[in-house]
Amino acid sequence: MKPTTIMMVSFGLIVVSHWANKEPTLSVKLIVEMVFVILVMGMMEGSENTSDIATLFAYLFLAATVLSKTGTVFFSALKKVTA
C-alpha cells in the first residue's frame, strides 16, 4: 500500500473517532498537518531511495494512531454501534 494512502487512513481514523466522541472533528491545525504530511509522503514515495522509508513512517504513524487514545476510543465506539 502506498504511504499516502496509509496516511489518509490514519487521518480518517482520527476524524471519525473525534466525530464519534462528539469532539471537534476538523480544526485548522489538523488540516494543515494533514496537508503537510501528505505532501511530504508523496514526495518521499516518488523517489526510489526514500520510498521504503516513507512506507515505514506511514505504518508507524498508523500504529501510533491505532494504539493511542484516539484509536481505542474509535474501536470502543465501533463496538457500541455493532452491539
Give the pLDDT confidence score for residue 14 in this predicted structure: 85
Residue 7: inside a domain, yes or no? no
pLDDT for residue 77: 64
CA–CA dist 9, 47 (Å, integer) = 22
Global pTM? 0.76
Q: Is residue 45 part of a domain?
A: yes
Q: pLDDT: is 8 or 23 the higher one?
A: 8
- Over the stretch 34-47, which tens digit does the pLDDT of each residue have? 899 999 998 998 88
Q: What is the pLDDT of residue 46?
A: 86
Q: What's the CA angle centered on 27, arms 11 and 80, to 5 degrees?
A: 55
Site of grid cell 512506507: 55
Q: Into how many domains does the chain fold?
A: 1
Is 49 domain-assigned?
yes
**DSSP labels for 26-61?**
--HHHHHHHHHHHHHHHHHHTSTTTHHHHHHHHHHH
pLDDT of residue 80 exceeding 80, the answer is: no
Range of the domain at 77: 25-82
